[in-house]
Amino acid sequence: MENLPFSLQRVNERIETTCQAQGLVKPHLIAVSKTQPAHQIQTLFHAGQRDFGENYLQEAEEKIQALSSLQGICWHFIGPLQSNKAKAVANQFEWVHTIDRFKLAQKLNQHRGETNLGRLQVLIQVNIDGESSKSGVAPEDILPLAQKIIALPNLALRGLMAIPARRDKLNEQREPFAKVWSQFKQLQNQLPDTPLDTLSMGMSADLEAAILEGSTMVRIGTDLFGTRLQK
Ligand X SMILES: *Cc1c(COP(=O)(O)O)cnc(C)c1O
Member of 8, 15, 64, 78 binding ligand X (CB under 6 A) = 78
Which residues are within 8 A (CB) of 193 and not within 5 positions of it... i.e. 6 or more apart?
A: none
Nearer to ligand X, 17 or 115 (CB): 17
Nearer to ligand X, 34 or 63 (CB): 34
CA 13, CA 134: separation in Å to the nearest integer? 30
Contact between 76 and ligand X by CB under 6 A: the answer reads no
If binding means CB under 6 A, how many residues of this protein chain bind ligand X? 13
Which of these segments, 66-74, 102-110, 135-143, 221-229, binds ligand X (CB under 6 A)? 221-229
To ligand X, the closest distance from the beta carbon of 36 in angstroms equals 10
- How far CA 195 is from CA of 150, 198, 222, in Å, comes to 11, 9, 32
Contact between 221 and ligand X by CB under 6 A: the answer reads yes
Contact predicate 81/62, CB 8 Å: no
Nearer to ligand X, 134 or 194 (CB): 134
- Candidates 117, 201, 125; CA nearest to 155 is 117
Contact between 201 and ligand X by CB under 6 A: the answer reads no
Per-residue x/- marks for ligand X, 87-126, CB under 6 A? Answer: ----------------------------------------
What is the chain's alpha carbon radius of gyration, rounded to the nearest angstrom?
Answer: 17
To ligand X, the closest distance from the beta carbon of 35 in angstroms equals 9
Nearest residue (beta carbon) to ligand X: 221
Nearer to ligand X, 73 or 96 (CB): 96
Contact predicate 48/12, CB 8 Å: no
To ligand X, the closest distance from the beta carbon of 104 in angstroms equals 16
Q: What residues numbered 161-200 form the site for ligand X, per CB under 6 A?
A: 163
3 membership: H or E segment, kind and range: none
Which of these segments, 108-116, 126-134, 143-151, 218-226, binds ligand X (CB under 6 A)? 218-226
- Phi-psi category of residue 64: left, alpha or beta, with phi > 0 → left and psi -120 to 50 → alpha: alpha
- DSSP string covering 20-40, please? HHHTPPPPEEEEE-TT--HHH
Q: By three-state DSSP, how is residue 211 classified?
A: helix
Measured at the CA of 192, the angle between CA 176 and CA 189, to 5 degrees, comes to 35
Contact between 204 and ligand X by CB under 6 A: the answer reads yes
Judged by the rule CB under 6 A, the positions of this chain that interact with ligand X are 32, 34, 55, 78, 163, 203-205, 219-223
